[in-house]
């Protein structure tokens, strides 16, 4: 294959745009290309970001070309003076820029159909390095361009994300498949989501299992939601083999971890709780204090929530706790608003006030002020009323206000999930 410098299917990406370096725009195109090509068994082995500057673009593309022989560029193909990618790459290949008459006509007609006259500056977008291949852009005026010589191939793609993606699907991927006929299998991953266990404890539980999953690897991805486990096949397996191996690995993780696993992929805990309630034909009433409506917002994010979500009270003050969900005044004065007794009364009260099958409640100290020696910042009680039982848990959370609120919401949802599963089984 002309220009292929490495036996593996490796490419580099150059993202062009001063706004990317200023941090005003994230290089989403580079990230997307990495994921999309990994699924084809093609590895993005390097990525650089350069400003809209002809010399900087030329240098970055030349270096990337020397390393892999296949370079994909994003951005800088616009009609204005500050879009320099075309000129930079034409210079690198020592080609003149010539107008592609067929493309110029396509663009002119598109404008005419909308009753507009094409701006003279759009003519620049029909210019390609002499001898280059033009890939039509159905969604914009800048086409994809492919230039090759003995050093390899450089592909220019518009920066507008949906335009770039369409060109990659329609033209770049088919071309890369031909260019790398012997490429390895896809990089294929699956995420298994856990919550309610620390990353280190999770690691210990899986210590002996993980080597048995080879050639798959497992990465630990902790966040405020819990720890995700990403299982990955790195290309030694075909697509079908990888799917089967991921299924088997997921089953072994689920078997080992049991109730700690709440979902796979990008499904969130609130969606899981909602689906569980819906499947049981049960309804929920909620009383939140320190989470201030976070749980309500998460639960109602899912379409169809109205079938099982009845109401969520944000009972921030003691008055509201009494008025809205009927927490007895003497309970508040005896134990304080942040207590197991009040959390439990809130959960039962939310259930009673809404007429729901289940009640869920959170009360705690999110900080930064309001902590005491007995109840420091991060002290949070969560309670779930399911069936005849009210389960209450004390959390001692670290982190700042944002983290405490987010973790409290997640823990409360998880308590409800577990109680629903236990009540059924």
Residues in touch with Mg ion (CB under 5 A): 17, 75-76
Q: Nearest approach, Cβ of 139 to ligand ATP (angstroms)?
A: 9
Q: Nearest approach, Cβ of 49 to Mg ion (angstroms)?
A: 12
Q: Which is nearer to ligand ATP, 47 or 321 (CB)?
A: 47
Tell me the three state secondary structure of residue 40.
coil
How would DSSP label each residue in 288-341? Answer: ESTTTTHHHHHHHTSTTGGGTEEEEEE--SHHHHHHHH---HHHHHHH-SSSHH
143 scored as a contact of ligand ATP (CB under 6 A): no
- Residue 292's binding partner among ligand ATP, Mg ion, none (Cβ under 5 to 8 angstroms by kind) is none
Q: Nearest approach, Cβ of 76 to Mg ion (angstroms)?
A: 5
The tokens describing 172, both together, are 């770049």
83 scored as a contact of ligand ATP (CB under 6 A): yes
Q: Which is nearer to ligand ATP, 17 or 285 (CB)?
A: 17
312 scored as a contact of ligand ATP (CB under 6 A): no
> Which of 216-228 are b and which e, b meaning 16 or more Cβ less than 10 Å from the residue's Cβ?
bebeeeeeebbbb
**Candidate list 129, 140, 186, 226; residue touching ligand ATP; CB under 6 A:** 140
Q: Are 66 and 209 a contacting pair, CB within 8 Å?
A: no
Q: Which is nearer to ligand ATP, 99 or 248 (CB)?
A: 99
Q: Say whether the peptide bond before residue 246 is cis (omega within 30 degrees of 0).
A: no
100 scored as a contact of ligand ATP (CB under 6 A): no
Neighbours of 425 (CB within 10 A): 6
Interface residues for ligand ATP in 161-190 (CB under 6 A)?
Answer: 161, 163
**Candidate list 57, 77, 299, 332; residue touching ligand ATP; CB under 6 A:** 77
**Main-chain phi, psi angles of 83, to 5 degrees:** -95, 105
142 scored as a contact of ligand ATP (CB under 6 A): yes
The whole-angstrom distance between residue 408's C-alpha and the CA centroid of its chain comes to: 22
249 scored as a contact of ligand ATP (CB under 6 A): no
Looking up tokens 């005896």, which residue turns up? 334
Give residue number: closest CB to Mg ion.
Answer: 17
How would DSSP label each residue in 183-210? Answer: -----EEEEEEE-SS-HHHHHHHHTTTG
Per CB under 6 A, residues contacting ligand ATP are: 15, 17, 19-20, 25, 27-30, 74-78, 83, 140, 142, 158-161, 163
């Amino acid at each position: 294959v002309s220009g292929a410098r490495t036996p593996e299917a490796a490419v580099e990406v150059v993202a062009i745009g001063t706004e990317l370096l200023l941090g005003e725009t994230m290089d989403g195109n580079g990230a997307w290309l990495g994921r999309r090509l990994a699924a084809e068994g093609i590895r993005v082995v390097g990525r650089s970001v350069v400003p809209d500057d002809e010399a900087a673009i030329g240098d970055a593309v030349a270096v990337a070309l020397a390393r892999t022989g296949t370079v994909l560029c994003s951005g800088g193909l616009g009609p204005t003076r500050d879009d320099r990618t075309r000129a930079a790459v034409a210079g690198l290949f020592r080609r003149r820029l010539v107008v592609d008459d067929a493309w110029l006509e396509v663009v002119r007609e598109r404008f005419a159909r909308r009753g507009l006259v094409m701006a003279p500056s759009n003519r620049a977008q029909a210019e390609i390095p002499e001898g280059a291949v033009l890939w039509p852009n159905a969604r914009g005026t800048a086409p994809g361009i492919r230039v090759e010589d003995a050093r390899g191939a450089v592909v220019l793609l518009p920066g507008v994300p949906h335009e770039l993606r369409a060109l990659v699907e329609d033209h770049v991927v088919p071309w890369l498949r031909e260019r790398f006929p012997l490429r390895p299998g896809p990089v294929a991953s699956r995420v298994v989501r856990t919550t309610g266990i620390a990353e280190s404890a999770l690691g210990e539980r899986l210590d002996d299992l993980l080597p048995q999953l080879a050639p798959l690897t497992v990465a630990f991805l902790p966040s405020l939601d819990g720890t995700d486990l990403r299982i990955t096949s790195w290309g030694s397996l075909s697509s079908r083999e990888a799917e089967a191996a991921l299924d088997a690995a997921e089953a072994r993780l689920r078997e080992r971890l049991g109730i700690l696993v709440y979902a796979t992929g990008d499904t969130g805990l609130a969606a899981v709780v909602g689906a569980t309630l819906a499947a049981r034909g049960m309804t929920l009433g909620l009383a939140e204090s320190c989470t201030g409506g976070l749980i309500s917002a998460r639960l109602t994010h899912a379409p169809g929530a109205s079938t099982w979500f009845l109401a969520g009270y944000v009972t921030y003050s003691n008055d509201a706790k009494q008025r809205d969900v009927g927490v007895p005044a003497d309970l508040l004065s005896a134990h304080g608003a942040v207590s197991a007794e009040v959390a439990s009364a809130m959960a039962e009260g939310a259930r009673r006030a809404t007429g729901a099958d289940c009640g869920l409640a959170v009360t705690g100290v999110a900080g930064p002020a309001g902590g005491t020696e007995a109840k420091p910042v991060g002290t949070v009680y969560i309670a779930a009323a399911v069936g005849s039982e009210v389960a209450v848990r004390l959390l001692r959370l670290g982190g700042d206000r944002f983290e405490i609120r987010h973790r409290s919401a997640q823990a409360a949802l998880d308590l409800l999930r577990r109680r629903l599963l236990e009540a059924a089984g």
